Amino acid sequence: MEVSQSIVLIAAPEVLAIPVVENHNPLIDIKGNNRILIGPSPEIPDNTDYTQMREEVFHRLLNAQSLLPAGLQFCLYEAYRSLDLQKALFDERYEQLLALHPDWSHEERFNETMKLISPVINLDGTKNVPPHGTGAAIDVYLLDESGKPVDMGIHPKDWMTDIDAHISTTNSRSISEKARANRDIMSRALSSAGFVNYPTEYWHWSYGDRYWAFMTGQSHACYGCVSSLIR
């Protein structure tokens, strides 16, 4: 197992070293809004928090949508994710890799798991607040004008089936030219609106978290844990 030298993992030490200076931008629920479409409850059927995000993130998502070509629109797969659900998903992915690669070391499996899901407990045992737990991160994909998902190579809901994380990687060479073109369209719009992408997940974009701060050279992140703000 090798982690690409060009990709900094989401809970790499250099990312975790960035301080958080909370700016108290409110967490809002976009359920019922008439501008960004929302997919069904992800991961678990009774998830009621996944449509919550920082207000600034929502405004930037609206800006990104205005930059899409005619006939395309965003669909939100997931925004806020509780720490309990985050840990359960990380553990499930880790156990999947343990069964497939019993010869790997704990560190190898941990880093491979991090390609598609951020830990709540870091490799060194310290606590972590993943981007989805800050209200800064959104998982999105594109729909056509009829509301049907366009070819993105893999739907975000199927991420656990991407065993080697090759298809989910934003610049994957294992997808069709059409899927590549659709990812490029989405990337241009979101990047122009100030978001940064986690390169191992084409659907994961964020603004204001530590990964965003690292990728944009900011001195600090704007958003910390928002569990106390959940409505």
Sheet holding 204-206, edge to edge: 37-38, 73-78, 137-143, 204-206, 196-197
Q: Which residues of 179-211 are buried (b: 16+ CB within 10 A; e: fewer)?
A: bbebbebbbebbeebbbbbbbbbbbbbbbbbbb
Can you list the domains of the chain with their CATH numbers?
19-81+132-229 (3.30.1380.10)
pTM above 0.85, yes or no: yes
Token output for 39: 């997919």
Compute the residue count for the chain.
231
Asked whether the beta carbons of 183 and 202 are under 8 A apart, the reply is yes
Per-residue pLDDT of the chain (231 residues; tens, 9 = 90+): 444 458 999 999 999 999 999 999 999 999 999 999 999 999 888 888 999 999 999 999 999 999 999 999 999 999 999 999 999 999 999 999 999 999 999 999 999 999 999 999 999 999 999 999 999 999 999 999 999 999 999 999 999 999 989 999 999 999 999 999 999 999 999 999 999 999 999 999 999 999 999 999 999 999 999 875 655
Token output for 42: 């992800």
φ, ψ of residue 87 in degrees (nearest 5): -65, -40
Nearest to 35 by CA among 54, 13, 60: 60
